[in-house]
């Protein structure tokens, strides 16, 4: 399945969120990741995020698609850093 994952995390935890998501998905922009993932791996990813998140402050939103069906993705403004490790 194809997913788009958006998180909103307290600044203190943003890098941890990023690091975990990067293991399973492709970084698109800021707090947005996307990619093909199995249901099983998605559960593991969510478990890992839940371990570090503060449910009173952070949130995760996941859109699930049977296949990669979007026909366009448009970005306006700052692009993601060309070398994403800068972020880490």
Give, in degrees to the nearest 5, the angle at Cα 74 between 59 and 64: 45
Of 12, 52, 61, 81, which one interacts with a second copy (CB under 8 A)? 61
Position 28 contacts a second copy (CB under 8 A)? yes
By beta-carbon proximity to a second copy, the closer residue of 19 and 68 is: 68
Q: Are strands 32-36 and 2-8 parallel, antiparallel or unpaired?
A: antiparallel
Position 84 contacts a second copy (CB under 8 A)? no
Contact 24, 45 (CB under 8 A): yes
In which region does residue 30 sit, left (phi positive, over 0), alpha (psi from -120 to 50) or beta (all else)? left
Ligand-binding annotation for 47, yes or no, is: no
Position 40 contacts a second copy (CB under 8 A)? no
Of 22, 31, 36, 87, which one interacts with a second copy (CB under 8 A)? 31
Contact 17, 80 (CB under 8 A): no
Position 44 contacts a second copy (CB under 8 A)? no
Q: Which residues are annotated as a binding site for Mg(2+)?
A: 8
């Amino acid at each position: 399945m194809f997913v788009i994952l958006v998180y909103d995390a307290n600044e203190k935890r943003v890098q941890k969120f990023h690091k975990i998501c990067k293991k399973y998905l492709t970084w698109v922009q800021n707090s947005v990741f996307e990619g093909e993932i199995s249901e099983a791996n998605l559960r593991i990813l969510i478990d890992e995020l839940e371990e570090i998140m503060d449910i009173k402050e952070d949130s995760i939103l996941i859109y699930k698609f049977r296949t990669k069906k979007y026909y366009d993705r448009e970005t306006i403004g700052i692009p993601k850093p060309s070398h994403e490790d800068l972020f880490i």
